[in-house]
A and B are shown apart, each in its own frame.
Chain A
Amino acid sequence: MIVVKNITKTFGAHKAVDDISFSVKEGENLVFLGTSGCGKTTLLKMINRLIEPDSGGIWIAGQKIEDQRPEELRKKIGYVFQNTGLFPHYTIEENIGIVPRLLGWDKGKIAARTSDLLEKLHLPSDQYRTAYPHELSGGQQQRVGIARALAAYPPVLLMDEPFGALDPITRASVRKDFKKLDELRSKTIILVTHDVQEAFELADRIFLLDKGKIVQQGTPDQLLFEPSGDYARNFFEDQRFQLEAGRIGATDYPALIRAFDHFRKRQS
């Protein structure tokens, strides 16, 4: 689905992305994991041409992205921002309908799609449709951000620390509802995070990045149990017990999240 070949990007003297190549299969969930400044966000933004690489090439569905108009390319790629990036002057409904409107959908189709997405993300349509973003909580705003990215059925979804700005409890709840969306099954997703647990929970494959290079790539199990070197080993050290327990099934994560949710409800 996505093929990246020898991508390099430097900002001044700093090499943000250093000769990276990889490919992503259709429907695969890929996670770029790393500390801040490792180049993961730069790498992500080059896929929808928010940043242009200095050298190398990227192909999506066999088409080189350089050969397409960036506006056309971006309408086919959903994008979720860490800080939502919702338009403050648009209602929730209008925000979700931005890309469909750019694509020229008729009003009825947009309205149907919007309320469908809002229901799926647990935001009752008649209650939130005409609200403005500032009237929503952070978690609700991020749900709208996800709905907006999905609205026009893009085959590819890029997510830049999508849950990073939320408190741990809200984060777990939003992530849970996100994971349950059935339309994600066929989507190729690339997600950027520095949160190890999030990476393990969502990824089919993880790229561990450092200083613009892929230190190790593989399934969560491979990264955890067969670290390629010191960097990878140290990266997971703090949470090793929890992660390993999770992988071998000693802890039921969904159950844990449910418990968090329950806790949150009691609190509010």
Chain B
Amino acid sequence: MDESESLWQFMHQQSGKLLQQTLQHIGLTFISLLIAVLIGLPLGIYITRHKRAAGLVLGIAGVLQTIPSIALLGFMIPLLGIGPLPAITALFLYALLPVIRNTYTGIDGVDPGVREAAVAMGMTSTQRLFRVDLVLAFPVIMAGIRTATVITVGVATLAAYIAAGGLGEFIFGGIALNNTNMILAGAIPAALLAILLDFLLSLLQRTSTKGRRITLRVMPPVILLLSSFYWLPMGYSSRLLAGFTPEFMGRKDGDIGLRSTYGLQIRTVVISDAVMYKAIYNGKLDVISGYSTDGRLEAYDLAVLDDDKKIFPPYYAAPVVRRDVLQQHPELAPVLNMLAGRINDSVMTALNYRVEYLHQSPEQCAHDFLLSRGLYRSPRNGNKGVIRLGSKIFPEQYILTNIYAQLILGYTDLTVDSKTGLGGTKICFEALVNNRIDLYPEYTGTALLAILRPPPGETERLAGNRDSVYNYVRRRFETMYDLEWLDPIGFNNAYALMMRRGQAQQLGIHTISDLVDYLKKDKL
């Protein structure tokens, strides 16, 4: 009950966005469908008259259908970039097979006696097509269009990955933020849309002969109208285009904060983290949200804009350890603290770069780092006990875990058991609390916003100050979970806005306030 009430509240609060995404979703669906019908129907008619081509055409359309939708979108990016064009192309390719196949089987299934009679009475091939074949094949063709529509509504949720909008924005934002209401706010309208369209088309499919003639006349303008929905919710225009991840869009310390605190008004598309960096590098986007220590910063030569109003809470990394383990092995804490303050933002970025782009193993990378700092010692092969190390599933965590493992092996008589790749924050934290692991590197901001979730006033009071956040989470973890935060490693893997270094310099944009000022001037 509580859940559904808050879902309703969420949908009510976000009604503007919900409407926009729904309209975009309908628009995307019908543009793709329109193109699929415009191409699929004539192609289907063609292969009923040239049977030899039928196998080939249906074969190709069938192969397209078997490509996983996310992969098809992936193929589109190098060819067509991001945004509506590749999304519509991918959706239309999906919708093509049912339209072609049902046109073909529909017309092929018309009674040959009736078709011969039409010829014998002197109908031209065009007259036969429109007065006999298409009308009699209508239920089968409509069934194909119906299938295509339902497929398209479903696949269109993936359009949010490549900045084409639609209800996928809520769905993927909700998944990233672990926000069930947000997921449902996208998933329920998408499902209802599919059911509704399926029902309406089923009515058309069963319509009488007279209804079919009317349908044939009314359908094209209706589809055109629905297609135009896609362009209705265009916001303010500016020359720069921002691409934010679904997660960033839904966070207070993300897009929402940028709007309320900075008054940032920029044309924004929602895009998957996986394609965002490439897109800004290729000039498809101008501003993106990212992490300040991401290796891709270096790979794509991006500049981080200074958060001069401090809306992004600090995400200082530090090892979080079970207190009983620290008491049992007093030698452990000093060893782990050897790394404190040793890795700043640029060092971490460089390490991430080596793993993500140069494809070095995290182990090798950790080894090289310790050697260069004069910290490396050969393993002692001790037998005093086992320390279980956990990590979330991304390179930075792998590197840190490997560094800790090598330090423990070199400086103590303990051995290690690495349990890397424990998914997201939730899994790592639960594993630690439930005594499945002994420690993992965590970020102060994550602990604050994703685990402790203090009331909004508290968050605002703390926000921006590195030490106050650290002290707050440290105290809370101690009292609530019996967990100890050791000293921060040094770098701050916070959210950040970034631009291409060249463009940022050329426009004189160094801080987020600079960006806001530039956009205001640009508008006038």
Q: Is B123 located at the chain interface by the 8 A CB criterion?
A: yes
Query: Across the interface, do A81 and B116 meet the contact criterion of CB distance under 8 Å?
Result: yes
Interface of B is mostly: helix
Query: Across the interface, do A87 and B122 meet the contact criterion of CB distance under 8 Å?
Result: no
Q: Is B15 located at the chain interface by the 8 A CB criterion?
A: no
Query: Across the interface, do A83 and B113 meet the contact criterion of CB distance under 8 Å?
Result: yes
Q: How large is the interface on B (under 10, 10 to 19, 20 to 34, 35 or more residues)?
A: 10 to 19
Q: Is A89 located at the chain interface by the 8 A CB criterion?
A: yes
Q: For residue B124, which residues in chain A have a CB less than 8 angstroms away from its CB?
A: 71
Q: Is A50 located at the chain interface by the 8 A CB criterion?
A: yes
CA distance A199 to B119 in the complex (A): 27
Q: Is A85 located at the chain interface by the 8 A CB criterion?
A: yes
Mask, A63-83, CB within 8 Å of B = 1, is 000000011111100010101
Q: For residue B132, which residues in chain A have a CB less than 8 angstroms away from its CB?
A: 87
Query: Across the interface, do B117 and A74 meet the contact criterion of CB distance under 8 Å?
Result: no
Q: Is A98 located at the chain interface by the 8 A CB criterion?
A: yes
Query: Across the interface, do B114 and A71 meet the contact criterion of CB distance under 8 Å?
Result: no
Q: For residue B120, which residues in chain A have a CB less than 8 angstroms away from its CB?
A: 48, 50, 74, 79, 81, 85
Q: Is A169 located at the chain interface by the 8 A CB criterion?
A: no
Query: Across the interface, do B122 and A88 meet the contact criterion of CB distance under 8 Å?
Result: no
Q: For residue A75, which residues in chain B have a CB less than 8 angstroms away from its CB?
A: 121-122
Q: Is B465 located at the chain interface by the 8 A CB criterion?
A: no
Q: Is A86 located at the chain interface by the 8 A CB criterion?
A: yes
Query: Across the interface, do A50 and B111 meet the contact criterion of CB distance under 8 Å?
Result: no
The interface on chain A, measured as residues whose beta carbon lies within 8 A of the other chain's beta carbons, has a size of 22
CA distance A86 to B212 in the complex (A): 19
- Look across to chain A and name the residue whose beta carbon is closest to the beta carbon of B115: A85
Q: Which of A79, A85, A88, A90 has the most CB of B within 10 A?
A: A85
CB A44 to nearest CB in B, in angstroms, measures 11
Query: Across the interface, do A89 and B135 meet the contact criterion of CB distance under 8 Å?
Result: yes
Q: For residue A61, which residues in chain B have a CB less than 8 angstroms away from its CB?
A: none
CB B290 to nearest CB in A, in angstroms, measures 60
Q: For residue B116, which residues in chain A have a CB less than 8 angstroms away from its CB?
A: 50, 81, 85
Query: Across the interface, do A74 and B113 meet the contact criterion of CB distance under 8 Å?
Result: no
Q: For residue B136, which residues in chain A have a CB less than 8 angstroms away from its CB?
A: 88-89
Q: Is A256 located at the chain interface by the 8 A CB criterion?
A: no
- Look across to chain B and name the residue whose beta carbon is closest to the beta carbon of A89: B209
CB B132 to nearest CB in A, in angstroms, measures 7
Query: Across the interface, do A88 and B121 meet the contact criterion of CB distance under 8 Å?
Result: no
Chain A residues 79-103 with CB under 8 Å of chain B are 79, 81, 83-90, 98-99, 102
CB B125 to nearest CB in A, in angstroms, measures 9
Chain B residues 31-53 with CB under 8 Å of chain A are none
CA distance A264 to B123 in the complex (A): 38
Q: For residue B118, which residues in chain A have a CB less than 8 angstroms away from its CB?
A: 87
Query: Across the interface, do A81 and B121 meet the contact criterion of CB distance under 8 Å?
Result: no
Q: Can you list 29 residue pairs at the A/B interface with Cβ under 8 Å?
A: A48-B120, A50-B116, A50-B120, A71-B122, A71-B124, A72-B122, A73-B122, A74-B119, A74-B122, A81-B116, A81-B117, A81-B120, A84-B117, A85-B113, A85-B117, A86-B114, A87-B117, A87-B118, A87-B132, A88-B114, A88-B136, A89-B135, A89-B212, A98-B121, A98-B123, A99-B121, A102-B121, A102-B127, A148-B121
11 further A-B pairs in the complex, CB-CB below 8 A; given A70-B122, A88-B136, A102-B127: A50-B116, A79-B120, A85-B120, A86-B117, A87-B114, A87-B118, A88-B114, A89-B212, A98-B123, A99-B122, A102-B122
Interface residues in chain B, defined as those with a beta carbon under 8 Å from any beta carbon in chain A = 111, 113-114, 116-124, 127, 132, 135-136, 209, 212
